[in-house]
Structure 1
């Protein structure tokens, strides 16, 4: 498949190697069964360390959320894709990125309470792990996954292994129509794209969303001209800036409204 030249990439992961691998993994079972071990994929998504996983776990334990009551359900996330897993006391064998998703779920419950019967949009979906974690805990009404087409194909193959009590909707950026979502989520992805693409997501999703949770970083090339935290607060004044754990860069944080 002929993807965009790197000079025109829309995001840090829109770099030919990552979407091309996602396409191959979505179509070929011999690749799909171990996709979370692949070096290209690990650089993009499966790079959290044991120590970072421990930070996510400790933050979850300290939160007001009760999500760890469903840990046996969350462990099922790692039955697909053969991720690198570690043993954590009192939890079991689990991949650090899965602990990150659980930590985000605990943040969502602590910030917003129940997500039953809400309409969620996630921008940048990885393999669908966050979607699966949320939907194994809450009974979400609809869950819209937005990403590049090859990434969506891989996420759909992954999520099709699990029965979910929601309606899943897969959309690329240009397939999205403007909607009033109850909650928009983006785990670094929104802050890793070009400003002109961010503008599309702001117009179609973020500015009209009732609630939001964005994991924020500042690692883009200068030519992306991506929105800074301060600029986003100007656009969405109700944003609260919360510290993040397991950070890779000093400016990492979460933006919540």
Structure 2
């Protein structure tokens, strides 16, 4: 019914930016889903299953999750085993779709993707402990949590839409972190040095002026 109303009454959509500055995720419906999760514990408890939210995030398929797991197992670099006892508890937040991959407890394919990206970072850049990382397009903070857990980063700066950074803060505050996180928007940040800047698709979704 909500999606039908949005089609009939497009004025019900919520945007963060002027039309020529909007990213692909700033589509109106996604922002509303994020705001519901921030404002209501009932929605936050299940936000990873919200269909409007899933158009942008938390839509990794069961099969893709299986491929990510296979890569992690083949690499045997300690990323998956290092995350099993602590990090995979994050799947209890937001009620994501989980599947049985034969590793014990069901796993979220999105979390497996975050782990695979962490494995890529370890291969490319080595030891990231004590580093300062910025991520453009933080989603709900899943990659930030992975890097904090596995690498014990000193500071993780998350750039996204204003409401999205609020959701990420709510999510990350559900855990005790090793380092700290800093939520930012583009206009609220001054140029400063980072050890590493990453973006998992989000940079490519931005209009050229914002890039």
Q: Same fold (TM over 0.5)?
A: yes
Which of 103, 121, 128 is the matching residue for 1:108? 121
Q: Which has the higher contact order (CA 8 A, sep 6+)?
A: 2
2:7 alignment partner in structure 1: none
CA shift for structure 1 position 64 = 5.9
Q: Distance in 2 between the 1:18 and 1:113 partners?
A: 35
Kindly indicate whether residue 75 of structure 2 is the aligned counterpart of residue 94 of structure 1: no
Q: Deviations over 1:84-135 (max 9, x none)?
A: 1001122531111110000001111111111111100000011111111111
Kindly indicate whether residue 179 of structure 2 is the aligned counterpart of residue 166 of structure 1: yes
Q: Is the 1:64–1:110 Cα contact (8 Å) retained in structure 2?
A: no
1:85 alignment partner in structure 2: 98
Distance 1:139 1:23, change over 3 A: same
Q: Distance in 2 between the 1:136 and 1:63 partners?
A: 19
Q: Distance in 1 between the 2:74 and 2:138 partners?
A: 26
CA shift for structure 1 position 67 = 0.6
Between Structure 1 and Structure 2, the one with more strand by share is: 1
What is the number of residues matched between the two proteins? 198
Segments of 5+ residues of structure 2 without an aligned counterpart are 1-12
Q: Which secondary structure does the structure 1 equivalent of 2:181 belong to?
A: strand
What is the RMSD computed on CA atoms of the aligned residues?
Answer: 1.6
Q: Which secondary structure does the structure 2 equivalent of 1:144 belong to?
A: strand
Which of 73, 76, 79 is the matching residue for 1:61? 73
The TM-score, its normalising length taken from structure 2, stands at: 0.89
Q: Deviations over 1:187-228 (max 9, x none)?
A: 100011111101xxxxxxxxxxxxxxxxxxxxxxxxxxxxxx
CA shift for structure 1 position 72 = 2.2
2:194 alignment partner in structure 1: 181
Q: Distance in 1 between the 2:85 and 2:104 partners?
A: 8
Q: Is the 1:121–1:145 Cα contact (8 Å) retained in structure 2?
A: yes
Kindly indicate whether residue 31 of structure 2 is the aligned counterpart of residue 19 of structure 1: yes
CA shift for structure 1 position 6 = 7.7
Detail structure 1 runs of 4+ shifted over 6 Å in the superposition. Answer: none
Q: Distance in 1 between the 2:86 and 2:17 partners?
A: 41
Between Structure 1 and Structure 2, the one with more helix by share is: 2
2:6 alignment partner in structure 1: none
The TM-score, its normalising length taken from structure 1, stands at: 0.73
User: Which structure 2 residues correspond to residues 108-257 of structure 1 after superposition, within 5 A?
Assistant: 108-198=121-211
Segments of 5+ residues of structure 1 without an aligned counterpart are 199-257
